[in-house]
Amino acid sequence: GAGVSQSPRYKVAKRGQDVALRCDPISGHVSLFWYQQALGQGPEFLTYFQNEAQLDKSGLPSDRFFAERPEGSVSTLKIQRTQQEDSAVYLCASSLGTGGRGYTFGSGTRLTVV
Amino acid sequence: KQEVTQIPAALSVPEGENLVLNCSFTDSAIYNLQWFRQDPGKGLTSLLLIQSSQREQTSGRLNASLDKSSGRSTLYIAASQPGDSATYLCAGLSGGSYIPTFGRGTSLIVHP
């Protein structure tokens, strides 16, 4: 596609519910990133994929967070047993190579846990 | 580990003013630095990307500079307009890393 597409745009989850957030990167982009952005803060790194390989997941805040990119294109970020502190905007970005040409971000998914 | 700081956190200016947003980074072995704009409730839109071998990049009324020795980048906005109101974020990529580090952003309001 022409840009990075994320769905859903908004998600309201009851505490304890599992959620799945989808990212469709620009076709052919090797690198894919997930970031979490709390209100009034900058994006915080969660995890990084190079093709289908998850090379870095050091930013995932707990084992309730899981991400995959099985075929090296679409990625899913799953959060199990959501808690109120998970409320944030989840941003996905992709890059043609490994970042030398910059990054393209999606519009994000705003998750609200009630 | 790269750390990125943006000052000021918020800025309010009258229309037509020229302004400078600051971004500081701790790792001088920076590979590139990218400036983004974020409108409320939206994702990040890339404005300018500066490679480590470059000193500045320009796009329309925007000019971004990079000084590796001092660990600073500035975004200059000429003749500001109300439509420039947004949060401006910078992200630095260190050499040898794949992961850009973001500042917290500067929230800009340009009032008519």
Q: What is the DSSP string of B18-74?
A: -EEEEEEES-S-EEEEEEEEE-TTS-EEEEEEEETT-SEEEETTEEEEEETTTTEEE
Rounded average pLDDT over B77-97: 94
Asked if B9 contacts B104 with a C-beta cutoff of 8 angstroms, the reply is yes
Residue of B nearest to A30 (CA): B98
Longest dimension (CA), chain B: 45
Is the Cα torsion angle A99, B43, A106, A45 positive or negative in sign? positive
The answer, for A6 touching chain B at a CB cutoff of 8 Å, is yes
Size of interface A-B (CB pairs under 8 A): 61
How much is the mean pLDDT over chain A? 94
Residue of B43, B99, B100 lying closest to A56 (CB–CB) = B99
Measured distance CA(B4)–CA(A107) in Å, rounded? 23
Q: Report which of B63, B65, B45, B40 is spatially closest to residue B55, judged by C-alpha positions.
A: B65
Distance from CA of A52 to the nearest CA of B (A): 15
Q: Report which of A31, B108, A15 is spatially closest to residue A23, judged by C-alpha positions.
A: A31
A102–B49 CB contact, under 8 Å: yes
In this prediction, residue B102 carries a pLDDT of: 94
pLDDT tens-place string over residues B31-74:
899 999 999 888 899 999 999 999 999 999 999 999 999 999 99
pLDDT tens-place string over residues A95-108:
998 777 788 999 99
How much is the mean pLDDT over chain B? 94
Contacts of B72 (CB under 8 A, 6+ apart): B22, B23, B24, B25, B66
Amino acid type, A78: K
Measured distance CA(A88)–CA(A84) in Å, rounded? 9
Q: What percent of chain B has pLDDT over 90?
A: 83
In this prediction, residue A1 carries a pLDDT of: 55
Distance from CA of A64 to the nearest CA of B (A): 22
Residue A51 Ramachandran class (φ > 0 left, ψ -120 to 50 alpha, else beta): left
In this prediction, residue B97 carries a pLDDT of: 84
Residue of A nearest to B48 (CA): A102
Burial class (CB in 10 A: 0-12, 13-18, 19+), A36: buried
Is the Cα torsion angle A89, A94, A95, A98 positive or negative in sign? positive
Amino acid type, A6: Q
Residue of A50, A56, A107 lying closest to B42 (CB–CB) = A107
